[in-house]
Amino acid sequence: MLRFINDLPKVELHLHIEGSLEPELMFELAKRNHVDIPFNSPDEVKAAYQFTNLQSFLDIYYQGANVLITEEDFFDLTWAYLLRCQKDNVIHTEIFFDPQTHTGRGIAFETIIKGITKALTKAREELGISSQLIMCFLRHLSEEQAIETLKQALPYKKDIIGVGLDSSEDGHPPEKFARVFDMAKQEGFLAVAHAGEEGPAQNIIDAINMLHVQRIDHGVRCVEDPELVKNLIENRMPLTVCPLSNTKLKVFKEMKDHNVVSLLKQGLCVTINSDDPAYFGGYMTDNFVAVAEALPTTKEDLAQFTLNAIEASFISDTEKKRMTKQVLDFVANYA
């Protein structure tokens, strides 16, 4: 099973690039940019990753992002993640980035986007990994700040497929951002949003009805509303689930309590993703292994997570068909 998981082609739809900042790279960039961080070693950083909830993670996440200053920093961050994708057989990835985390510190939008896209282009050419980029609004900040961020993104529309909504869900419901999502849609951006992780099932309903999203990020609390679950199944609304993240942030006490396999078997379009892998203890293969070890799954179930991710991805139908065939051929040959 471990070999099957490792070799299985994977598609990641829920990855915060800032959340892939490994402690070793954090220290390297801090030294390069003469930035003080409140840790003395990478091990000390890792020891601090004992989170009690989403906010306790976000506090340290934003602190870590302070080391990202130059275009080269954003390139190095993204390239390190893409090399990990190659190792984990990730054939396509759709990456979130949080411009407000950086522009709020005086980093130019252009610096961020150029560093990230340079790495994505290199991965396409040298590693054969395709990608899309999704710009997220930080929900703990104001609607006005989100609108300003959208304006900053417009010159780079060719590089950004969609907009998303992340950061602390509690106290920041979807309706707060309905106007900016409408504006983004008018500019041709697709839309996704975090909902139903620390917030209730109603946030999922509101993200669909008010923000008109194509995907729900997390969404595991949909089970609180049976009618919603029924609608998600009927409409094939994808949920980008992050198992290790959910257990690390206490959404579920242990992996054996997670509902990702149960949702899959009910017929929901659920996918497996790594969220903020440097902080939550694992990239794509790690998440698949954690699920397979804790919950009753077959090889077909695990392959279905990838097939769902291909279906839910923002790529052309031609590419979807090609990737679907790649996964089905892999499973057939493995058998």
- The set of catalytic residues is 197
Measuring CA to CA, how many Å separate 63 from each of 13, 60, 117, 132? 25, 5, 23, 26
Specify whether the CB–CB gap between 234 and 214 falls below 8 A. Answer: no
DSSP β-bridge partners for residue 134: 96, 162
Tokens 């077909």 belong to residue: 300
- Tell me the C-alpha distance between 93 and 91, whole Å: 7
Residue 301: CB atoms within 10 A of its CB come to: 16
Give the residue from 304, 287, 316, 276 showing the smallest Cα distance to 14: 276
Give the residue from 298, 323, 329 showing the smallest Cα distance to 93: 323
CA angle, corner 278, sides to 109 and 257, nearest 5? 120
Specify whether the CB–CB gap between 84 and 283 falls below 8 A. Answer: yes
Q: Are strands 90-97 and 10-16 parallel, antiparallel or unpaired?
A: parallel
Q: What are phi and psi of 13, to 5 degrees?
A: -120, 0
Specify whether the CB–CB gap between 154 and 141 falls below 8 A. Answer: no
Tokens of 313: 């991805």
Measuring CA to CA, how many Å separate 216 from each of 39, 80, 178? 35, 27, 15
* Phi-psi group of 196: left, alpha or beta (phi > 0 → left; psi -120 to 50 → alpha; rest → beta): left
- Tell me the C-alpha distance between 242 and 260, whole Å: 9
